[in-house]
Amino acid sequence: MPHVDRALTWILEYGDRDGDGFVEYRRTTGTGLQNQGWKDSHDSISFADGTLAEGPIALAEVQAYVYGAFVARSELAATFDTPAVAREWADRADTPRRRFHDAFWLPSAGYYALALDGRKRQVDALASNQGHALWTGLIDPRYAAQVAEHLVSPELFSGWGIRTLARSMKRYDPLSYHNGSVRPHDTAISVAGLARYGFADDAVRVADALFDAAVAFGDRLPELFCGFDRSEFSSPVPYPTSCSPQAWAAAAPFLLVRSVLGFDPDVPAGKVYVAPPTGSGYLAGLVIRHLPLTGRRITIGGTEHEGLEDLALIRPRC
């Protein structure tokens, strides 16, 4: 816990450079990375018209991670600290949730901006980053359906996965590193977000598409692949210098399984959130046996739930 709190202290005291409530980055030398989010190409943060954003830059997904960290700390406090500490972190989590919508929402477009630039302007490109905000629960439920609709639209969903940048954006390039390619980990995070907010059919459809891509790549998902539409090619087009294997791509199928299954254990509360898989794809009728949980082996999925007699089974939470 001391290490957890040191990380949170960094967010509160150092991550927010100008005190506006958002964590931002800006390189302090002429040789460092210009962009310091997971999309770290020099041209990966741009406006819809292709203009590159100038820092300090507050990325949409980074604010989602901050919110998730505050919520998690509140939940940990309920077990390891006091109710007062839990309330303190819950109150802190409420602030980015309110500020995020006000600062990032694009009413005329119906989605969240990719980032805020150094002048607090909305970087209005349609990108996959807002799927990360679904994943951590940052997005106001009233607007989640619009975000989900964009994520699975032909603009972002290639039929193999979710593109990093929409086709209608000026810098879209299906052969690029971050401006229109498909990243398995990024797609899996969006699937987790879709499932969290109850868009089960969309989550299953995108998950199945990524599993199809994995089969095409010999059952090994690469770091990324090109963002060409599935209607254009019978198999996903490899990215020439993609790492394979790569750790976060290798982890993507496990997040897909957990998301579609709705499996979310809360051991201190004595609860397991779970929903049987839906649809007719790869995970239909999935049953996982001998899964380790709290010193026991459990079976989860379908109608089989063994080893969970003293834990309450509940539908997924948002």
- Which band of pLDDT confidence, cut at 50, 70 and 90, is reported for residue 307? low
- Which band of pLDDT confidence, cut at 50, 70 and 90, is reported for residue 4? very high
**296 forms bridges with which residues in the sheet?**
293
Tell whether the model's pLDDT for residue 274 goes beyond 80.
Answer: no
Q: What average pLDDT does the segment 10-38 reach?
A: 90
Tell whether the model's pLDDT for residue 277 goes beyond 80.
Answer: no
| Residue with tokens 């987790």, as numbered in its chain | 192
Task: Quote the pTM value.
Answer: 0.93
- Which band of pLDDT confidence, cut at 50, 70 and 90, is reported for residue 269? confident
pLDDT, residue 316, reads 47
Closest by CA position to 161, among listed 111, 223, 99: 223
**pLDDT tens profile 228-243:** 999 999 999 999 999 9
d(CA 195, CA 298): 22
Tell whether the model's pLDDT for residue 8 goes beyond 90.
Answer: yes
pLDDT, residue 85, reads 94
Tell whether the model's pLDDT for residue 314 goes beyond 60.
Answer: no
pLDDT, residue 152, reads 98
Tell whether the model's pLDDT for residue 276 goes beyond 70.
Answer: no
| Residue with tokens 């190409």, as numbered in its chain | 41
- Which band of pLDDT confidence, cut at 50, 70 and 90, is reported for residue 55? confident
- Which band of pLDDT confidence, cut at 50, 70 and 90, is reported for residue 318? very low
pLDDT, residue 294, reads 79
**pLDDT tens profile 199-208:** 989 999 999 9
- Selected residue with higher pLDDT from 174 and 308: 174
pLDDT, residue 90, reads 94
**pLDDT tens profile 66-76:** 999 999 999 99
pLDDT, residue 312, reads 55
**pLDDT tens profile 107-160:** 999 999 999 999 999 999 999 999 999 999 999 999 999 999 999 999 999 999
**Residues 206, 190 contacting (CB under 8 angstroms):** yes
Question: Among 161-165, 184-188, 217-221, 305-309, which stretch is predicted with the lowest mean pLDDT?
Answer: 305-309
Q: What is the mean pLDDT of the chain?
A: 91
- Selected residue with higher pLDDT from 84 and 285: 84
- Which band of pLDDT confidence, cut at 50, 70 and 90, is reported for residue 215? very high
- Which band of pLDDT confidence, cut at 50, 70 and 90, is reported for residue 272? confident
